[in-house]
Amino acid sequence: MKMLKQLLVGGLTLIASTVIAQHDVQLPLQYGMQQLISNPAMLQDHKVSISLPSVGGGFFTPIAVNDMGEIRNGTLMIDPDQFILRLDDRGNDMSFNSNIETFALNYRHRGWQVGVSHRARIQGGLDLPKGLVQLAAYGNGRYVGQELQLAPNINATAYQEFGLNGAYTFHDNFTVGARVKYLAGSGAMTTTSANASLYTDPEYYEATATSDITFKTAGFPIAFTDDGVETGDLDGYASAGSGWGVDFGGVYRAEKMEIGLSVRDLGFITWTGNAQVHRSNGEFTFSGYQGNIFNDDGFEFDVEGTIDSIVGELEFTSTEQQFTTKTPATIQGTFRYELAEKTTLNATMYAANANSWHTGFGVGLGQQVGKFLHVGALAGMKRGGGYLGANLLLDLWGPQFYIACDNVLSATNLTDANDAYFRAGINLTFGQVKKGRAVKGWYDTKVEGINK
């Protein structure tokens, strides 16, 4: 697996339509077990709820496909000048996230519930500097007398999550919940210092590279040679590191109203398998790269050659050393109000840490249609601009089929999309909790005297 090259090449090409990634700020579903992902205090309205394998993922990028060029006959034709014009010197942050929930089980009795879950997760981000794209596109000859910033900032982790969750209701209308998670790491790459510049002297045309780069890897071997960088395969799916995480949540219910608050993904992983620290610090004579990743038709053809020519000159040294990374945390608040028996007003606000903290909010409606169908929509603002999300759940008195997307407009036009998140899966439910006569809350069939 050539992980370093794949991340850099992916950042250079930005083919958003093939990426399943982003931060996991999922659109809160109006119904079903997936509410527990957002807030472990959300009581379920069935005694037994089982989540079968589901998938989810999303991405954020400041540069959409149409910002790079245009698609002709199904092929992306890159315009290097247009691409470079869209980039800042630094801060071109892209984030990604992909989840596979293999299994989850939740048991509810009156005002408490317990459950177990397992997920496989990939999270990460990339800051792609403009100078790296300029050098790859035109070589250093065009930028004589200028200083190009070359070092990308990469942070990515792959791990499994084994969770144990529980919730309990106090005073009939306030539920608190938590999820404790054991984290089994598969692989990681994290950057602690990303400073590398290239200057070409206008008089002697001598190129000098100055670097102060430190990054760490685990889960796969990596070696630097005069020809560039070589990476090996992952040692094993869950053998590179271990750690712990926790999610907290609370839900307050009054008649026709529900307010929720959660803090999730507080955690860390200590990496020990093939754990290495890689450093390059100093000043080096750079032979320059005269190639061009774009031919006359706009096709890229030698991205790896550019990356290898840079890495081969910077003289990296590697040492074995374990290290620790933190999981990116999210804070989320939700509000629901029963407008009518089958109609719900919804609102959400969040702050998520994906390379840096960013916020968003949304307001929408949930509607039950007949006996089996639940639909919802949510519109608001988040990183990347405005969005319109939608979800659908088909409840067939046992099996539940659901799908949710937090940016349906991007799904219809991926070439202009900067971000999107998607989730789909199947649940099984047994033993619906019946509403009592004195209804204290409304959504999860919370009743008076629920813990008695």
Dihedrals phi, psi of 67, to nearest 5 degrees: -75, -15
- Residue 266 in this model has a pLDDT that exceeds 90: yes
Residue range 164-178, pLDDT digits in tens: 999 999 887 899 999
Residue 218: the pLDDT is 92
Percent above pLDDT 90 for the chain: 27
What is the per-residue pLDDT across 340-377, written as a single tens digit (0 to 9) for each?
888 889 898 988 876 667 788 889 888 889 888 988 88
* CA proximity to 165, closest of 119, 196, 121: 119
User: Is the Cβ–Cβ distance between 300 and 294 less than 8 Å?
Assistant: yes
CA distances to 2, 54, 194, 213, 228 from 316, in Å:
17, 41, 13, 9, 10
Per-residue pLDDT tens for 116-147?
999 999 888 888 899 888 887 887 878 888 99
Which of 36-50, 265-279, 372-386, 434-448 bottoms out in mean pLDDT, i.e. has the lowest? 434-448
- Thinking of the domain 3-432, which architecture would CATH place it in? Beta Barrel (2.40)
* pLDDT tens profile 63-119: 877 777 777 776 667 778 888 888 888 888 888 888 899 999 999 988 899 999 999
Q: What is the pLDDT of residue 352?
A: 80
Predicted confidence (pLDDT) at residue 311 exceeds the cutoff of 80: no
Residue 207 CA to residue 228 CA, distance in Å, equals 18
- The answer on pLDDT for 19 being more than 70 is no
Q: What pLDDT, on the 0 to 100 scale, is given for residue 63?
A: 81
**pLDDT score of 391 more than 80:** yes
The amino acid at residue 26 is: Q
pLDDT-derived band at 418 (thresholds 50, 70, 90) equals: confident
pLDDT of residue 307 exceeding 70, the answer is: no
> With pLDDT > 70 as the criterion, what percentage of the chain qualifies?
79
- Residue-level pLDDT at 162: 97
Tokens of 69: 């060029």
pLDDT band at 319 (very low <50, low <70, confident <90, very high): very high
CA distance between the termini of the chain:
57
Pairing of strands 54-60, 419-432: antiparallel
Comparison of pLDDT for 48 and 395, the residue scoring more: 48
Predicted confidence at residue 252, as pLDDT, reads 92
Q: What are phi and psi of 341, to 5 degrees?
A: -55, -35
Task: Band the pLDDT of 6: cuts 50, 70, 90.
Answer: very low
Closest-CA residue to 209 (of 284, 157, 104, 129)? 284
Average pLDDT value over all residues in the chain? 80
SS (H, E, C) the chain: CCHHHHHHHHHHHCCHHHCCCCCCCCCCCCCCCCHHHHCCCCCCCEEEEEECCEEEEEEECCCCHHHHEEEECCEEEECHHHHHHCCCCCCCEEEEEEEEEEEEEEEEECCEEEEEEEEEEEEEEEECCHHHHHHHHHCCHHHCCCEEECCCEEEEEEEEEEEEEEEEEECCCEEEEEEEEEEEEEEEEEEEEEEEEEEECCCCCCEEEEEEEEEEEECCCEEEECCEEEECCCCCCCCCEEEEEEEEEEEEEECCEEEEEEEEEEEEEEECCCCEEEEEEEEEEECCCCCCCECCCCCECCHHHHHHHHHHHCCCEEEECCEEEECCCEEEEEEEEEEECCEEEEEEEEEEEECEEEEEEEEEEEEEECCCEEEEEEEEEECCEEEEEEEEEEECCCEEEEEEECCHHHHHCHHHCCEEEEEEEEEEEEEECCCCCCECCCCCCCECCCCC
> What is the predicted pLDDT for the residue at 302?
52
Residue 292 pLDDT grade (very low, low, confident, very high; cuts 50, 70, 90): low
